[in-house]
């Protein structure tokens, strides 16, 4: 398996933007695995997460559009009000169907589709959040033997989301953001 068929998916809600920023800062510009970021934000919130991440990261931050190809060296950010799905041809598709877990984008939707397309080559990280979104998607990845990580609830700004995952997946790894960062760095193929 070459690194182009690997994927890192990160989901978070309340407190997730700060946590994901800490994890992604310092990853090199030529980081070998594409990263997809699904963060809940208020539906009426203007202002671009892409710009926020663009300023802080060496990786290129891109807001996902329909048919955007998935390539290494990029952080792909789920746009407000769309579910993000991964296609077999390694592009994204956007879907504005019903809210899931009161959310759109829903972490579960993206994680479950990552499990279908990338299977055991998926690394999924679930961060701080006040909802239960993400657990069933994380479980789908775990069942395909992907690597599943929950942020240490003791460190999370809101522990509900990582705790829900830890409780539903006995094999879930629990790490603080520093360890998650170090783990992702260790996956980088030079």
Q: Is the model's pLDDT at 26 over the cut of 90?
A: yes
pLDDT value of residue 42: 62
Say how far apart CA 182 and CA 93 lie, in whole Å. Answer: 30
Q: How confident is the model at residue 1 (pLDDT cuts 50, 70, 90)?
A: very low
Q: Is the model's pLDDT at 44 over the cut of 70?
A: no
**Catalytic residue list:** 13, 40, 133
- What percent of the chain is predicted at pLDDT more than 90? 87
* pTM for this prediction: 0.95
| Residue range of the domain that includes 61 | 3-187
Q: Looking at residue 144, which CATH number applies to its domain? A: 3.40.50.180
**How many domains does the chain divide into?**
1
Say how far apart CA 134 and CA 11 lie, in whole Å. Answer: 7
């Amino acid at each position: 398996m070459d690194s182009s068929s690997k994927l890192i998916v990160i989901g978070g809600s309340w407190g997730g933007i700060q946590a994901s920023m800490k994890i992604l800062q310092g990853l090199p510009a030529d980081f070998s695995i594409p990263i997809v970021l699904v963060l809940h934000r208020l539906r009426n919130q203007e202002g671009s997460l892409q710009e926020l991440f663009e300023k802080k990261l060496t990786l290129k931050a891109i807001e996902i559009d329909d048919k955007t190809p998935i390539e290494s060296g990029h952080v792909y950010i789920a746009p407000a009000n769309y579910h993000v799905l991964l296609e077999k041809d390694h592009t994204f598709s956007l879907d504005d169907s019903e809210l899931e877990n009161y959310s759109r984008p829903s972490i579960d939707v993206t994680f479950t589709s990552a499990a279908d397309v990338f299977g055991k080559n998926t690394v999924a990280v679930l961060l701080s959040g006040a909802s239960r979104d993400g657990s069933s998607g994380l479980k789908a990845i775990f069942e395909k033997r992907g690597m599943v990580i929950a942020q240490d609830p003791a460190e999370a700004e809101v522990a509900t989301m990582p705790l829900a995952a830890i409780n539903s997946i006995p094999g879930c790894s629990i790490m603080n953001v520093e360890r998650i960062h170090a783990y992702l760095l260790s996956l980088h193929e030079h």
